[in-house]
Structure 1
């Protein structure tokens, strides 16, 4: 969907704001602090009427803030340069800025009346040029201090923005990875199912074909419509697997049997959607398909303290297929999804069962609805 024009402009304005925000914040803080310190000093030193000096001092401070902001605007095109070059530019720009401020400061306090009320006699400067030159040195370092403070704030903003962008990209990459792993349904399942449907129709086993097609459509609808990043209850996940196994049972008949055993209460615990699918597919591919004997696929779930434990085993006699570092592609995808969802808290163990067949045991911290 195309963004409204005002949203696009607002987003662009927000992206352009950080430097202006940092400049205004640093200017406000610096000049407000100077105004506060000099006002307190006027009372402490004992000027004849320090209250009268507050208004002209406010005018001088406002002028200084304006000059500082003009420096920022003049050097704003250099924002993309390296930090060292920007700092050098600000230190150079501080020379005319400090001279302009010193001239205005002298004019307000030493030229405009009423001098006798505002300042003691000994505070008067002899000449305009000498006063401006001498005070410019002090104000130069004030402007340099502001420049360093502003650039530090700006750099901190840049670092924060870079961290946010990195976090957003990392989250997007993680989301894409989860989606990719989520949708890796074995295409052979679809091909085999369609072939089986064709065979059932040719044999006029319309009831079996209809049941197989209904289960397949429900399974695919759930597979494609569920949000791969939103967990579902264990009961919903087992319904997905039941539909899948019902489709395969039409294909394999009495060679395939399955059962689910859930500890009361575990059906409401949350799991990543379709997390069991690759494991069940492996059991069909490597335990059921290669043999003419009956194979049982069993799934058991229980809660052990604050963890959900799921065990899937089959009674097949065939090898589980090629393994890479102990895991095949489907099982590696399961482990990757568990780690994406729960990090190091997820556990997964695979291997031959003591009583024969193959077993996969997984556990992760309990997550419940709401």
Structure 2
């Protein structure tokens, strides 16, 4: 049986603990009877006492549920009074079982015997009440933790999806403009290729959950579609260099993690160079970490402590936010100047084999 499920099912959990607790009480008393060499008939008395205690404490559960939200002082008062009544009633039953079954009608003369045995029963019922409230509070605390965790997870999912879908409109706008231009100049073959690749690219972005990780080899294929589309736009002005190790291809990465970085390089670097430019994509595994790098030879920008001094785009910021949401502090996202010019983006994330 799954322990977590049992704890969450309050009805079943109560009955399991109730029965197990009173069986345990009977076993402890049985061991004591063996130590003090009581006659075998005493086992029957122990069973009856445990059964009576089990039955008498069941109504306490429903009483405590009724007063659960009462003021603390009233709650404590009711618990002590109810425990005293139930404990005293149980003590009377125990005396009856002991004297009528085991001692055949014998009654002790000392008055303190009655008082002491009655208090013992009250203490046991008070312990039962304390355990009930302790377990109840524990269950409520676990329930609140589960709700908070679920709400936090849903918030992260919503945030990731928002960040992912914020990346697509700019690229889509540029591509549709390029297709429109190709149609106007009657380059229908190129326009048709762009539409086909755009369709496959968008299908991937819409069907892939931004929260799940995918093999980097799959990401490379999608990046290939994206770059093929951009090559139609820029023709020979765009040069691509890819250097990815075989081990890195099998690594799991957040879906579409590099696309906004490449889009950023094309928008701010390649598009501003009359003679075009180059983008390099590198990936390798080192010390159980996946190292990703995207670099260009554009005009570069001002960088301070691994971050842009001024940035009007959302690509870099959204990528960093996604990494922070997915990996918390177990990642790095660093910007640096390329040599002799351009921008380099380095990402380090834990290596997970797909």
| TM-score using structure 1 length | 0.82
Matching residue within 24, 45, 66 for 2:15: 24
In the TM superposition, residue 233 of structure 1 has moved relative to its aligned partner by: 2.0
Aligned positions of 1:147-166 closer than 5 A: 147-166=129-148
The question of whether the paired residues in 2 share the 8 Å contact of 1:23 and 1:72 is answered with: no
Q: Work out the CA distance in 1 between the residues paired with 2:323 and 2:33.
A: 67
Structure 1 pair 163/203, CA: closer, same or farther in 2 (3 Å)? Answer: same
Q: Work out the CA distance in 2 between the residues paired with 1:25 and 1:69.
A: 13
Residue 339 of structure 1 corresponds to 324
Residue 207 of structure 1 corresponds to 189
- Larger mean Cα displacement after TM superposition, 139-148 or 332-341: 332-341
Residue 27 of structure 2 corresponds to 36
Residue 229 of structure 1 corresponds to 211
**1:4-43, Cα deviation, whole Å (9 max, x unpaired):** xxxxxxxxx989842x455435544543343233333334
The question of whether the paired residues in 2 share the 8 Å contact of 1:22 and 1:153 is answered with: no
Q: How many pairs are equivalent?
A: 347
Q: Return 5+ residue gaps in structure 1 as ranges.
A: 1-12
In the TM superposition, residue 266 of structure 1 has moved relative to its aligned partner by: 2.5
The question of whether the paired residues in 2 share the 8 Å contact of 1:200 and 1:209 is answered with: yes
**1:283-326, Cα deviation, whole Å (9 max, x unpaired):** 111112233221111112222232222211111116489x7667
Q: Work out the CA distance in 1 between the residues paired with 2:71 and 2:179.
A: 67
**1:148-184, Cα deviation, whole Å (9 max, x unpaired):** 1222222222222222222222222222222222222
Residue 162 of structure 2 corresponds to 180
Say if 2:341 is the partner of 1:359: no
Residue 10 of structure 1 corresponds to none
Structure 1 pair 261/38, CA: closer, same or farther in 2 (3 Å)? Answer: closer
Q: Work out the CA distance in 2 between the residues paired with 1:337 and 1:126.
A: 80
Q: Work out the CA distance in 2 between the residues paired with 1:248 and 1:216.
A: 10
Q: Return 5+ residue gaps in structure 2 as ranges.
A: none
Say if 2:52 is the partner of 1:52: no
Q: Work out the CA distance in 1 between the residues paired with 2:37 and 2:253.
A: 74
Structure 1 pair 361/82, CA: closer, same or farther in 2 (3 Å)? Answer: farther
Residue 109 of structure 1 corresponds to 98
Partner SS state of residue 367, structure 1: coil
The question of whether the paired residues in 2 share the 8 Å contact of 1:27 and 1:65 is answered with: yes
The question of whether the paired residues in 2 share the 8 Å contact of 1:287 and 1:320 is answered with: no
Structure 1 pair 180/225, CA: closer, same or farther in 2 (3 Å)? Answer: same
The question of whether the paired residues in 2 share the 8 Å contact of 1:106 and 1:131 is answered with: no
Say if 2:226 is the partner of 1:244: yes
